Amino acid sequence: MLDLDQRQGRYGEHLVQLIVTSAGYTCSKPDDTGDGVDLVVSRTQHDGDSPRPPNVEFQVKTIRNPTLAGGKLVYDLEVAHYNCLRADGPTRRYLALVTVPGQNPDDWHDHSQHYSIFRDAVFFVDLLGFPRTENRSRVRVKAALTDRLVPAVVDDFMRRAERDYSRRFRPIGWSRHA
Amino acid sequence: MPDPGELRDLGRSPERIAMYLHGRGWNPVGVAGDEILWALDDGGRRWEIVLPLSPDRSDLARRLGEVFAVLGAVQNRRPAEILRDVRSAGSDVLKIRTLPRTRSGTAPIDDALGLIAASKDLLLAAATSIDAPRAVLGSRKPARATEFVREVRLATEPGSFVVALETTVPPDWAVAEVLALAGSLVESGGQVESDGLFVLPVSPFPRAVTTRTIDAASAAVSLAARIVDGEADVAAFDDLVSRGVSANFLEALAGIGGGEGALERNTGVDLTVRWAYSRTPPLGRPATIAFPSNVFPVFATAASSLRARSPEPDVTLVGPIIRLQRDNRTGDTVTMVATVGQGRSRRSRQIRLVLNDEHHDLAHAAYGERRIVEVRGDLQSGPVLTMNPVRSFVVR
């Protein structure tokens, strides 16, 4: 049986995967390579399975006691993860903040004959280009309550990534020897 | 998915991946920062992968994992198998697969050691025959042949019992060009032959040895099969000497088959070549040569036949004189004991020495004082192993 922290963490990741899949993209959990990427979103190649560049990556944090400040959801993010998310790189990364209602997992979901509900919500934060921090441990980040991660948003992220990808690569004038 | 540590390790040599992609028909189509976009047109369908070049990227393993996932999908193979190919992309790989009656991936230890020794002898014989094709190769091998064998890397692979012999082949101009375009350095350790316009037909020595091994093995197994069918005689192996077949090569092949009792322990052998992706592969060579069990005794017989009819040149023997005989008909006979042969056939034998007067006096003295001698000359097989002539005689 997973302990509460593990259960909350995986619940949040699965919730994000559900949203991504709803948007029509593939979403996988990569091996832990120490840079805080929890999920990779990609299109698929012709086989409908293997990833086709470009990707969008998510770091997922799940909160069971969400705090609001100034009408925004706040989260104290580890500095190392903050730096990964704010740095410019070939792959776009976002922070996904999942809120669950309290410490009782039975309250996190509900269902009837006609629906299943997984509570509460997923928000996103785009930290690209944020300033350096002098903090040593954690940095407070904020998500607007309007920045909900929903399938349409995922689709928008992917379309943007696709446009950047097309622009980014300078063609190579190379031809194979006959 | 391959282990992230393995992927990071491979990411330090992106030129190997570039070589592999080029060899599999992928084309570099775009560059951005430290990334190369590669595309493969597969019957009107376009596959794309992004190859990261910087080993310092935090997402290196993840990106390479995606590359291998796509390659696995394109080739319908497990990514871990492809990773093994990429690791040796700059090398010709000869794989000797035996089918011992043991669990897959294992072999009786004696058979495994014999196979490894015979594999080395096979490559050494092929390498030696390039400079000096002879029916029996001398014990002194050309320097570049022995240096070549020292550079061969051996690995075992799953599936029956497979010994993989890897020899690094420097890239030709076409591959060097794509590596340069990929923004990577060619760390081949070898020369890139180029006149700036065309691929030069120069074959580096490692590639020549691989080609020689395949050609000689292919010719030997074809002839052995004809002999088994009664369509040819072992003397026909003489005609294959110019193609790299020698007594040494045949003994090595027989050793790969497992020697005596092999038929009960081993159900077959095949030799597969995977040409390095660093160079255009030679045309018209079989990718796999199958050795039915019944050809190995033919190889052993043919090797003995070649040895019996051809002296082994320039052999050095070390050992004691054990007998001096006076024979009015044949003159004085001096017999010594020394170790002869290579690999599994290495054993102590009595050797008759045909000596001039000066060497004869030295032999008498050595025999009387129980001293060890070192002799050098041509070794002739037959009912009695004979060194004739003896060119050098030293008492130690």
pLDDT digits (tens, 9 = 90+) for B56-110: 888 899 999 999 999 999 999 999 889 989 999 999 999 999 887 777 778 888 8
**Residue A37 pLDDT class (50, 70, 90 cuts):** very high
Chain B nearest-CA distance from A51, in A, is 6
B299-326: average pLDDT: 88
| Residue B94: predicted pLDDT | 97
Residue in A54, A90, A172 nearest the CB of B33: A90
| Residue B218: predicted pLDDT | 97
DSSP string, A8-54: HHHHHHHHHHHHHHHTT-EEE-----SS---EEEEEE-TTSSSEEEE
Per the CB < 8 Å rule, is A45 touching B33?
no
- Residue with structure tokens 């599936």? B159
Closest CA relative to residue A140, chosen from A73, A88, A46: A73
Question: Which class for B339: exposed (0-12), middle (13-18), buried (19 or more C-beta within 10 A)?
Answer: exposed
A27-50: average pLDDT: 87
By the 8 A CB rule, do B141 and B128 touch?
Answer: yes
List, in order, residues 6 or more apart from A109 with CB less than 8 Å away. Answer: A116, A117, A118, A119
Chain A nearest-CA distance from B216, in A, is 30
| Interface test with chain A among B51, B62, B199, by most A beta carbons within 10 Å | B62
Per the CB < 8 Å rule, is B29 touching A52?
no
Per the CB < 8 Å rule, is A90 touching B37?
no
Per the CB < 8 Å rule, is B29 touching A42?
no
| Residue B212: predicted pLDDT | 96
Structure tokens of B203?
């074959």
**A29 interface with B at CB cutoff 8 Å:** no
Mean model confidence pLDDT for chain B? 85
If phi > 0 it is left, if psi is from -120 to 50 it is alpha, else beta; for residue B82 that is alpha
Tell whether omega for the bond before A155 is within 30 degrees of 0, i.e. cis.
no
Residues of B within 8 A of A176 (CB-CB) are 27
Closest CA relative to residue A136, chosen from A83, A85, A100: A83
Is a pLDDT exceeding 60 seen at residue A133?
yes
By the 8 A CB rule, do A41 and A57 touch?
Answer: yes
pLDDT in tens, B337-391: 888 876 666 788 899 998 888 888 889 889 989 999 999 998 887 778 889 888 8
| Residue A176: predicted pLDDT | 66
Give the whole-angstrom CA distance, residue B79 versus residue B63.
Answer: 13
**String of b and e for A42-73 (b: at least 16 CB within 10 Å)?**
bbebeeeebbbbbbbbbbbbbbbebeeeeebb
Q: What percent of chain B has pLDDT over 90?
A: 46
| Residue B380: predicted pLDDT | 84
| Interface test with chain A among B58, B67, B172, B279, by most A beta carbons within 10 Å | B58
Give the whole-angstrom CA distance, residue B186 versus residue B41.
Answer: 26
Per the CB < 8 Å rule, is A52 touching B33?
no
- Residue with structure tokens 């030129």? B15
| Residue A86: predicted pLDDT | 93
DSSP classification of residue B123: H
Give the whole-angstrom CA distance, residue A101 versus residue A120.
Answer: 6
By the 8 A CB rule, do A72 and A145 touch?
Answer: yes
CA diameter of chain B: 89
Chain B interface, Cβ < 8 Å to A: 1, 4, 27-37, 42, 45, 47-50, 52, 58-62, 65-66, 69-70, 72-73, 174, 177-178, 181, 199
**Which amino acid is present at A128?**
L
Residue in B27, B37, B49 nearest the CB of A169: B37
Give the whole-angstrom CA distance, residue B182 versus residue B178.
Answer: 6
Rounded to two decimals, what is the model's pTM?
0.74
Residues of A within 8 A of B72 (CB-CB) are 50
Nearest chain B residue to A173 by CA distance is B29
| Residue B132: predicted pLDDT | 83
A74-99: average pLDDT: 93
Per the CB < 8 Å rule, is A50 touching B35?
no
Tell whether omega for the bond before A54 is within 30 degrees of 0, i.e. cis.
yes
Q: Give the lowest-confidence range in A119-128, B94-103, B263-272.
A: B263-272
Q: Give the lowest-confidence range in B138-147, B189-198, B239-248.
A: B189-198
B191-204: average pLDDT: 46
Distances (CA, A) of A67 to A63, A102, A138, A142, B221: 9, 12, 16, 10, 78
| Interface test with chain B among A26, A33, A46, by most B beta carbons within 10 Å | A33
- Residue with structure tokens 């943007």? A160
Q: Give the lowest-confidence range in A9-13, B184-188, B302-306.
A: B184-188
| Residue B358: predicted pLDDT | 86
Chain A nearest-CA distance from B61, in A, is 7
Per the CB < 8 Å rule, is B30 touching A170?
yes
- Compute the half-sphere exposure of residue B376: CA atoms within 13 Å on the CB side of its CA: 8
Closest CA relative to residue B190, chosen from B210, B175, B204, B174: B204
Give the whole-angstrom CA distance, residue B382 versus residue B306.
Answer: 11
| Residue B160: predicted pLDDT | 80
What SS3 class is residue B386?
strand
Give the whole-angstrom CA distance, residue A84 versus residue A173.
Answer: 34
Nearest chain B residue to A40 by CA distance is B62
Residue in A47, A54, A89 nearest the CB of B73: A47
| Residue B58: predicted pLDDT | 83
Other C-beta atoms closer than 10 Å to the C-beta of B133 total: 17
**φ, ψ dihedrals at A2, nearest 5°:** -70, 145
Structure tokens of B336?
């010594």
**Which amino acid is present at B327?**
D
Residue in A45, A57, A91 nearest the CB of B73: A45
**A170 interface with B at CB cutoff 8 Å:** yes
Chain A nearest-CA distance from B276, in A, is 17
Per the CB < 8 Å rule, is A53 touching B31?
no
**A35 interface with B at CB cutoff 8 Å:** yes
Structure tokens of B320?
């004691």
How far out from the chain centre does Cα B212 lie?
A: 9
**A47 interface with B at CB cutoff 8 Å:** yes
Give the whole-angstrom CA distance, residue B137 versus residue B378.
Answer: 11
A40-53: average pLDDT: 89
Residue in A35, A45, A172 nearest the CB of B31: A172
